[in-house]
Structure 1
Amino acid sequence: MKLSWVSVGLCAVAGAGADKLNLDRIFRRMTTDPEGAFHIDELGILRSLDRRGKVLDFARLERRQLLGVASAYYSTTEKGELISTWANANSSQLAPDDIWSPAPHLLPRRFTDPGQREELTSPAPSLSRILGRGRADCTTLYCNSFRFCVENGCTWCLAAGRKSRCILEGSAHTPQHTPYNPSNPPKPPFSPPHPQGQAGHHHHHHQ
């Protein structure tokens, strides 16, 4: 079953666009910390983490959505690795307590090893490069926070696979190299916290 799903996944890139659109909606609804990041673990749980690694929000992703992530943002090699990692993903086996308090090995190293945090960012593209050649490809920028990505013309910081990287909302449908307009910068993704007790319950059960 694992091999058959992997082989199907590698050929199903055409379907990633529709799944990506749904992922954008999920990302936008998540409670976030400007100094935090999104993370997708090996079981297919998307978590919004604050700067200390505390879970602020989560969503259970379906296999087609996981394929959309791998196809939209990763190179051929990394895509194959992620598809293999997520081949048996089944977030339904996780109890809510395990989602809100994940085991350390499920989190990116930057949250379990503070020394990793400052080593994970790529040099920011120069302003002349942005203005002269269009927006840099967001997926080439390694990140440690949403703020870093927004400041470089991208939308989210997503950890899935070897490194956290910036992604651009809607990038599965529109060219990455769109002109950068300094007078109309990308809207920051940071949403105000949901009222206490409501976060994480209205959009997480994607069966």
Structure 2
Amino acid sequence: MKLLPLTTFLSIIAAVAAHVPAGAHAVDVLRNLKGDSQGFKHVGADGIARSYDVRGRVIDSARLTRSQLFGVAKSASSEDERKHLQNLWANVDPSKVDDAQLWEPPRHVLPSRFVNPEQHAKKMVDAGVVESIAKAQYDARKKLQTRFDWCEDVKCGESWFCELFFLCGPCVELVEGVGHCMLLH
């Protein structure tokens, strides 16, 4: 009985800490999620931003607002990807996602690397993630003198790759298994 007030207090603190300010940009929300250097961050079809560790466990999550989701869609690397994301999130209401689903997303929301690892590996190769490392490193070193805006052009699979080789923020996967490094501001 003595633990009830403490438990209630901790639940309230957790709920407040998990709340995403309505005015925050999605990039800030993603950047502020706890991360794993061998993991990655993903915005699911349910409008929830999740951070995964190297074993595929959710280590942090946040509900994004409609405007944040469309802000993410606007930052897509191609018009096709942008349209896909806008259609994907057109009727999504992250506020209605059950708390349990934040930590254990259903199969249709999982990143493709967990649903179909073979297809994910093929997409990583086809997208040139592995082969582009040397070129991206060269380009990054060349641009290092003047600016850090190359991050979003670097394709990635894990956050350590972005952070170590390119001085960027974490790897964020938006569509079909291929991530992009985030800007680090």
Query: TM-score, normalised to structure 2's length?
Result: 0.70
Q: Which residue of 2 aligns with 1:130?
A: 140
The gaps in structure 1 that reach 5 residues or longer are 1-18, 171-207
The structure with more radius of gyration: 2
Deviation at 1:112, TM superposition (A): 3.3
Instruction: State the Cα distance separating 1:127 from its structure 2 match.
Output: 4.4
Describe the superposition over 1:97-140 as per-residue Cα deviations: whole angstroms up to 9, x where unpaired: 11211112211121234443586234213544333345673333
Aligned length, in residue pairs: 152
- The residue aligned with 2:89 is 86
Q: Go from structure 1 to structure 2 and tell me whether the alpha carbon gap of 1:66 and 1:126 turns closer, same or farther (over 3 Å shift).
A: closer
Distance of 1:86 and 1:55 partners within structure 2 = 21
User: Which of residues 58, 63, 82 is equivalent to 2:61?
Assistant: 58
After superposition, the C-alpha distances for 1:16-60 in whole angstroms (9 at most, x for unaligned) are: xxx6x6333323321111111111111210001111211101100
Inter-CA distance 126–26: structure 2 relative to 1 (3 Å threshold): closer
Q: Which amino acid aligns with 2:155?
A: Y
Match of 1:6 in 2: none
Structure 1 residues 31 and 80: CA distance shift in structure 2, 3 A: same
Indicate if the aligned counterparts of 2:31 and 2:169 stay in contact, CA closer than 8 A.
Answer: no
1: CA distance, partners of 2:136 / 2:157 = 19
Q: What are structure 2's unaligned runs of at least 5 residues?
A: 1-22
Tell me whether 1:158 sits opposite 2:172 in the alignment. yes
Choose from 134, 137, 153 the match for 1:140. 153
Summarize deviations over 1:156-184 as a string: whole Å, max 9, x none: 211112322222135xxxxxxxxxxxxxx
Give the fraction of aligned pairs with identical amino acids, expressed as a percent.
Answer: 30
Give runs of aligned pairs for residues 1-207 of structure 1, distance below 5 A: 22-115=25-118, 116-117=120-121, 120=124, 121-122=129-130, 123-124=132-133, 125=135, 127-134=137-144, 137-150=150-163, 151-162=165-176, 163-169=178-184
Runs of 4+ with >4 A deviation: 133-136
Greater relative CO, 1 or 2 (CA 8 Å, sep 6+) = 1
Task: Look up the equivalent residue of 1:130 and give its one-letter code.
Answer: A
Q: What is the CA-CA distance between 1:85 and the residue it aligns to?
A: 0.7
- Tell me the secondary structure at the aligned position of residue 75 of structure 2: helix
1 CA distance for matches of 2:161 and 2:87?
Answer: 29
Task: Find the residue that maps to 1:160 and give its secondary structure.
Answer: strand
1:91 CA displacement = 1.3
Deviations 1:149-206 (A, max 9, x none): 1122321211112322222135xxxxxxxxxxxxxxxxxxxxxxxxxxxxxxxxxxxx
